[in-house]
């Protein structure tokens, strides 16, 4: 019912079923039942205490309405900043954030309305109903299962040894944070589709027959790899006879990233082919296919000099970049262009023969390129009759200069007598960024983490001596990644601030939200450990998983702290209140955590096509939920007992001092009044008589 309602409101909001919204739906499958679990479990608890289902539904729902609303509000506080993030993050996860938010709102409404109503009518009466209503929490815990009693003993031990527990928690958090430095980083997950592309380019102006001959040799090299299943070759397909492309399909042998393995194996034999540049791309979701550029791009800007000079400087810098370990597939955007024969007509000389530049150009176009003079028709077929010089008469520059032009008087004039021809080549295009001529050097990485290569390239650029007026900076995925993670960091900061504001308003305290938020670093421990054990990089989706954990893991702490506060209001101190809250809230905490973890298993396994894109996020969420669930049940009670207990004792001392001060003031007032009474003259005294 919740999912149907979510789809309905998604349609009203204009959210389509795309990769990100489906990912959100896969996540909320295990999330939308959490509020219902908390409400229904508490209703069952009241039924077990001897209350009728109708009364238990009312009391049980009223008891957990605050934590249910608080947990939903914290999750909304996490996902809405992600939905409104700027840049590529906002484009990617707008539908994701809104879909999760819609589902959470619907599930909260269902938990507070439908769940108690259905529970009142369908839950069975307890055998304890014949007894008096029991409010003995110790007896309630003792009557539960082995797991509840075992946790109660462990909780009592941690609360009896607060210093040891605190030190151990700090050490675990510190070690996990240090280990995060050794996790590989990436921007987007690599989706190995079992195929890749190879681009081949010869010198500009290379004839098509030469390109064909070289392409066949390259195809043979590619086919020689045992994992290559098939190769589809195109030659000159882009309108440039000096280029060719190869679409390669590889066998799926069950190994990790088979396409990248073949690419890495082919780089060395292809690089040994002289006079040809190659570009290899695995077509992964991420890197150059998705973002339209290489993983690393160095943008060289020249404020002075010609574009050809800037291109020459880029080639020198590319040679230096080639020495950086892990940097492969270097390519320069500057292309020298095809050699061309530029004809300059001597207008004065041509006018002596009655010839104009337009006439000379038109004649050359007809003789060299040809012109359709007529159409041949016969036996149901048609063919254009093109008039042009024989190929041998237009094969080279000398042949062109020997062409005769017909003067106005009918005289044949050799073209070399009225013009001059010179061979030149220039760039195919001139790229400007912010009006500045720019040449880009692109490259991919192989075998070395992207951040490591980025740092090496940045260090090389910092030490490189550029000519006057020339500069270079990192761009491409490096720039996009830095911007994206910066936006994600801001979204995480806003999420934490919003969570604190929500909790402070719900609990009416500035300190207790901090205790609840202790679950956040406890979740990071598991997320980092899970990524390390599964050899997954800290990429964009994993970072999103970290942000999501900020809201998800506070649910457990809220349930504990809210019940402990209820017991404190009943007259128990903080230590006793938490000893009671832990076992009572253990069951809903484990049930909600387990539902989310189980829902993430199919996503983490990545059974569907393109599942690698979602794996890192699911693995991070699973690891974070596992560690935060178990550590929250131990660390948060200890922190609550220490901090809230100290504040309660401080409040008691202040109250005692205030009461003592008030009693002292009252005593001084009584003494002053007594002294005033003693100092007043008696109203019955006799005055002496006069004469």
pLDDT digits (tens, 9 = 90+) for 66-102: 889 988 998 888 877 777 776 667 776 788 888 988 9
Q: Is 167 within a domain?
A: yes
Lowest-pLDDT range of 100-109, 340-349, 442-451, 625-634: 442-451
- One domain, residues 1 and 125: yes
Indicate the average pLDDT of the chain: 82
The reported pLDDT for the residue numbered 680 is 67
| pLDDT reading at 107 higher than 90 | yes
| pLDDT reading at 130 higher than 50 | no
Task: Report residue 136's pLDDT band, with 50, 70 and 90 as the boundaries.
Answer: low
Other beta carbons within 10 angstroms of residue 637's beta carbon come to 28
- One domain, residues 302 and 414: no
Q: Is 33 within a domain?
A: yes
CATH (domain of 114): 1.20.1640.10
- One domain, residues 56 and 162: no
Backbone phi and psi for residue 428, each to the nearest 5 degrees, phi listed first:
-65, -35
State what percent of residues in the chain have pLDDT above 70: 88
- One domain, residues 372 and 464: no
| pLDDT reading at 682 higher than 60 | no
Asked if 37 and 588 count as a contact pair (C-beta separation under 8 A), the reply is yes
Nearest partner of 93 among 551, 479, 491, judged by Cα: 491
Q: Which of 104-113, 140-149, 612-621 has the highest mean pLDDT?
A: 104-113
Q: Is 686 within a domain?
A: no
Euclidean distance between CA atoms 340 and 431, whole angstroms: 21
- One domain, residues 301 and 450: yes
Residue that terminates a domain, selected from 424, 452, 469? 424
- One domain, residues 629 and 548: yes
| pLDDT reading at 437 higher than 50 | yes
Q: Is 473 within a domain?
A: yes
**Number of domains composing the chain:** 4
List the structure tokens of 615.
């794996």
Nearest partner of 481 among 302, 294, 641, 688, judged by Cα: 294
Task: Tell me the mean pLDDT in the region 304-323.
Answer: 84
- One domain, residues 264 and 353: no
Task: Report residue 671's pLDDT band, with 50, 70 and 90 as the boundaries.
Answer: confident
| pLDDT reading at 664 higher than 60 | yes
Task: Tell me the mean pLDDT in the region 126-137.
Answer: 52
CATH (domain of 305): 3.30.70.1430
Q: Give me the residue label for tokens 């296919």.
A: 289
Q: Is 259 within a domain?
A: yes
- One domain, residues 145 and 126: no
- One domain, residues 84 and 151: no
The domain of 609 spans 136-182+509-668
List the structure tokens of 357.
């530049």
- One domain, residues 657 and 516: yes
- One domain, residues 447 and 566: no
DSSP codes, 652-691: HHHHHHHHHHHHHHHHHHHHHHHHHHHHSPPTTPPPPPP-
- One domain, residues 460 and 405: no
CATH (domain of 413): 3.30.2090.10
Task: Report residue 239's pLDDT band, with 50, 70 and 90 as the boundaries.
Answer: low
Q: Is 681 within a domain?
A: no
pTM as predicted: 0.72
């Amino acid at each position: 019912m919740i999912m149907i309602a979510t789809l309905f409101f998604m349609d009203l909001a204009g959210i389509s079923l795309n990769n990100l919204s489906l990912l959100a739906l896969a996540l909320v499958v295990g999330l939308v039942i959490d509020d219902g679990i908390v409400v229904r479990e508490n209703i069952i608890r009241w039924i077990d205490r001897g209350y009728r289902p109708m009364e238990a539904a009312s009391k049980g729902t009223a008891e957990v309405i605050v934590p249910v609303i608080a947990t939903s509000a914290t999750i909304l506080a996490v996902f809405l900043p992600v939905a409104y993030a700027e840049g590529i993050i906002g484009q990617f996860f707008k539908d994701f954030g809104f879909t999760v938010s819609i589902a959470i709102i619907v599930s909260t409404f269902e938990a507070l309305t439908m769940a108690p109503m259905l529970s009142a009518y369908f839950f069975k009466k307890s055998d304890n109903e014949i007894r008096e209503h029991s409010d003995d929490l110790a007896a309630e815990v003792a009557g539960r299962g082995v797991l509840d009693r075992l946790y109660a003993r462990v909780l009592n031990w941690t609360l009896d040894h607060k210093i040891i527990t605190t030190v151990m928690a700090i050490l675990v958090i510190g070690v996990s944070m240090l280990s995060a430095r050794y996790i590989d980083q990436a921007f987007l997950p690599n989706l190995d589709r079992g195929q890749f592309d190879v681009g081949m380019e010869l010198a500009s102006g290379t004839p098509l027959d030469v390109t064909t001959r070289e392409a066949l040799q390259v195809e043979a090299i590619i086919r020689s790899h045992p994992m290559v299943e098939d190769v589809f070759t195109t030659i000159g397909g882009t309108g440039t006879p000096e280029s060719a492309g190869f679409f390669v399909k590889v066998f799926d042998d069950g190994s990790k990233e088979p396409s990248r393995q073949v690419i890495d194996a082919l780089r060395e034999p292809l690089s040994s082919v002289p006079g040809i540049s190659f570009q290899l791309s695995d077509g992964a979701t991420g890197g150059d296919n998705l973002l339209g550029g290489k993983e690393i791009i160095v943008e060289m800007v020249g404020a002075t000099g010609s574009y050809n000079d800037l291109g020459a400087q880029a080639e020198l810098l590319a040679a230096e970049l080639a020495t950086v370990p892990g940097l492969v597939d270097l390519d320069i955007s500057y292309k020298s262009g095809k050699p061309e024969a530029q004809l300059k007509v001597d207008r004065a000389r041509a006018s002596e023969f009655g010839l104009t530049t337009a006439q000379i150009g038109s004649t050359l176009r007809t003789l060299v390129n040809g012109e359709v003079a007529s159409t041949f028709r016969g036996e149901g077929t048609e063919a254009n009759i093109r008039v042009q010089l024989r190929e041998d008469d237009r094969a080279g520059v000398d042949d062109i200069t020997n062409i005769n032009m017909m003067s106005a008087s009918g005289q044949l004039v050799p073209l070399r007598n009225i013009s001059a021809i010179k061979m030149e080549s220039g760039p195919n295009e001139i790229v400007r960024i912010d009006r500045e001529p720019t040449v880009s050097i692109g490259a991919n990485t192989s075998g070395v983490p992207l951040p490591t290569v980025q740092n090496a390239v940045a260090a090389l650029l910092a030490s490189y001596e550029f000519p006057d007026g020339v500069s270079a900076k990192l761009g491409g995925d490096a720039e996009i990644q830095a911007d994206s993670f910066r936006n994600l960091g801001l979204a995480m900061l806003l999420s934490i601030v919003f969570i604190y504001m929500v909790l402070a308003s719900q609990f009416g305290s500035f300190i207790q939200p901090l205790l609840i938020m202790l679950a956040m670093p406890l979740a990071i421990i598991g997320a980092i450990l899970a990524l390390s054990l599964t050899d997954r990089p800290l990429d964009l989706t994993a970072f999103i998983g970290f942000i999501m954990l900020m809201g998800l893991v506070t649910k457990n702490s809220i349930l504990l702290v809210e019940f402990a506060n209820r017991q404190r209001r009943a007259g128990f101190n903080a230590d006793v209140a938490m000893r009671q809250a832990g076992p009572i809230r253990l069951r809903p905490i484990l049930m909600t955590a387990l539902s989310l973890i189980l829902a993430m298993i199919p996503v983490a396994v990545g059974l569907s096509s393109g599942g690698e894109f979602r794996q890192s996020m699911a693995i991070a969420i699973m690891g974070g939920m596992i560690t935060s669930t178990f550590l929250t049940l131990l660390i948060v009670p200890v922190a609550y007992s220490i901090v809230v207990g100290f504040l309660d004792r401080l409040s008691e001392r202040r109250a005692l001092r205030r009461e003592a001060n008030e009693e002292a003031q009252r005593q001084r007032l009584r003494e002053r009044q007594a002294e005033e009474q003693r100092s007043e003259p008696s109203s019955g005294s006799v005055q002496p008589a006069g004469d």
